[in-house]
Amino acid sequence: MISVQEALNTIFANTPSASAETVVLEEAAGRVLAEDVVSDIAMPPFDRSAMDGFAVWGECDEYRLMDEIPAGLQPPPLSGEGVAAAIMTGAPVPRGADRVVMVEVTSVKDNRLSIRKMPVKGANICWKAEDITKGQTVLTRGNLITSAEVGIAAMAGRETLSVFRRPVVSVLTTGSEVIPPVHIPGSGQVRNANGVLISSFLTQAGFSPVKVFHSADDPASLRNAAAQALAVSDILVTAGGVSMGTHDYVPSVLEDLGFKFHFRTVAQKPGKPFSFAIGPGGKMMFGLPGNPVSVLVGLEMYVLACLRLYSGFGRCRRRELTGELTDSLRKKPGRLNYFRTIAEQTPEGWILRIPSTSGSGDLMSTRGTNSIAWLSSESTGAEEGTSVPFSLMSWAGGESCWE
């Protein structure tokens, strides 16, 4: 049995280096950029109006109006002081104009413009290259691409981007007693919550699994399902069948398929029977226990960190925060204990509330929680008011969860 930190270090040491692929802009959001993006033009590419109004030359009591300037056409220059032209937002500012006056402070009569409140020189004009200069690097390798970055890439003249490839993930749940959620359980049967739990977690984190498989506790069936899952994915996440019971066949089946296990148990609670293996071609396997809360802890604290590293994210270790307990905690020394918590940020700092729970199978106790706190393996507990380490869950903290 290895420590939590040893387990995480082992996973990182065996995660393949991120590789790149090219995608169209519409598919780039949520990916990590694998190249620098340089703009081929200045932005704006010309002096343009920041609003609907009038382009004017000089400060005069009255202006003679020229033809209106629409967006998309190069206008003729203003012929001199005392001349103005109606202009639309985004339209090129004519040569000679030194400001744009908003419509709201003007009046027009007999083709003559009057201004009630004169703006300063240069007002309401976006000058050429004000935002971006030609040849400027506008996005850098390692950036997480959001919709804003996609728009910037388009402005820089790009139709495609080089991004780091996401690993393809498949899910395999196990258990002869496990039945589909739509079925009514018979004696000794349980509904398969883990399949949709893992799939939805990965989807929410941006790593939608290619397929979810299920197998009974039978070596031949399990081998067939695992082989099918591995044939279509880089990473296999299993739930159940990884402990030391007589019907826990996942480790032996994966070994028969050429996988080498780096660890089978971790000194943690919940989720002690958590395993990690590397197979032919560098394929990876995470073996999660069957208890749903243990599944969530394994996904949050290990699997997601690996997926981020595999996908080129620069920050893959959980950001550790500190919060003050509103309740006391008790534990036995020997294993690091994880606790689902409800974290709330106050002017004085974070406070952590502990929901009541009946154990690692109690998925209902996770409702409303947004964080995971922990006590070290040596600890015997913590009193109310004690500060303890915690991390926000990935869906609650987003990129702020990582460092």
Total domains in the fold of the chain: 4
Q: Quote the CA–CA distance of 213 and 371 in Å, as a whole number.
A: 29
Q: Are 176 and 222 in contact (CB under 8 A)?
A: no
Are 172 and 272 in the same domain? yes
The predicted-structure confidence for 307-323, as pLDDT tens digits, reads as follows 999 999 999 999 999 99
What's residue 243's pLDDT? 79
Residue whose C-alpha is closest to residue 385's, from 324, 310, 300: 324
Q: Quote the CA–CA distance of 268 and 238 in Å, as a whole number.
A: 18
Task: Tell me if 132 is assigned to some domain.
Answer: no
Question: What CATH number should be reported for the domain holding residue 345?
Answer: 2.40.340.10
Question: Residue 276: which domain range?
Answer: 4-19+166-310
One pLDDT digit (tens) per residue for the chain, 403 residues: 999 999 999 999 999 999 999 999 999 999 999 999 999 999 999 999 999 999 999 999 899 999 888 888 889 999 888 999 999 999 999 999 999 999 999 999 999 999 999 999 999 999 999 999 999 999 999 999 999 999 999 999 999 999 999 999 999 999 999 898 999 999 988 888 999 999 999 999 999 998 999 999 999 999 999 999 999 999 999 999 887 777 789 999 999 999 999 999 999 999 999 999 999 999 999 999 999 999 999 999 999 999 999 999 999 999 999 999 999 999 999 999 999 999 999 999 999 999 887 565 677 878 889 999 999 999 999 999 999 999 999 999 999 999 9
Are 87 and 144 in the same domain? no
Are 111 and 147 in the same domain? no
Which residues make Cβ contacts (< 8 Å) with residue 24, sequence separation at least 6?
159, 160
Task: Tell me if 316 is assigned to some domain.
Answer: no
Q: Quote the CA–CA distance of 192 and 175 in Å, as a whole number.
A: 9
Are 159 and 185 in the same domain? no
Are 302 and 248 in the same domain? yes
| pTM for the full predicted model | 0.86
What's residue 207's pLDDT? 94
Strand, helix or coil for residue 27: helix
What's residue 361's pLDDT? 62
